[in-house]
A = this chain, B = another copy of it.
Amino acid sequence: MPYINLRVAGELSREQKQQIVAEFTATMVRVANKPAEYVIVTIDESPLQDWGWGGELLDQAE
């Protein structure tokens, strides 16, 4: 029953999401012996304005 939440700054394409879900799931199957059908992944895409790092918003660093 692994549950994985991925939060990224910015956006991912559908192809990237599909590849990430496939690889994270394969890792859990291979490394932790979890059945693939128990592996759940959710993805949150946050605007750069909603991430802070080192005391600044990420959209400042650009």
A51 to B28 alpha-carbon distance, docked (Å): 16
> What are the residues of chain B within 8 A of A46 when measuring CB–CB?
42-44
Number of copies: 6
> What are the residues of chain B within 8 A of A42 when measuring CB–CB?
3, 7, 46, 50-52
Closest chain-B Cβ to A45's Cβ sits at a distance in Å of: 8
Closest chain-B Cβ to A53's Cβ sits at a distance in Å of: 6
A45 to B4 alpha-carbon distance, docked (Å): 12
A53 to B35 alpha-carbon distance, docked (Å): 11
Closest chain-B Cβ to A9's Cβ sits at a distance in Å of: 4
> What are the residues of chain B within 8 A of A32 when measuring CB–CB?
8, 12, 16, 20
Is the Cβ of B53 less than 8 Å from the Cβ of A22? no
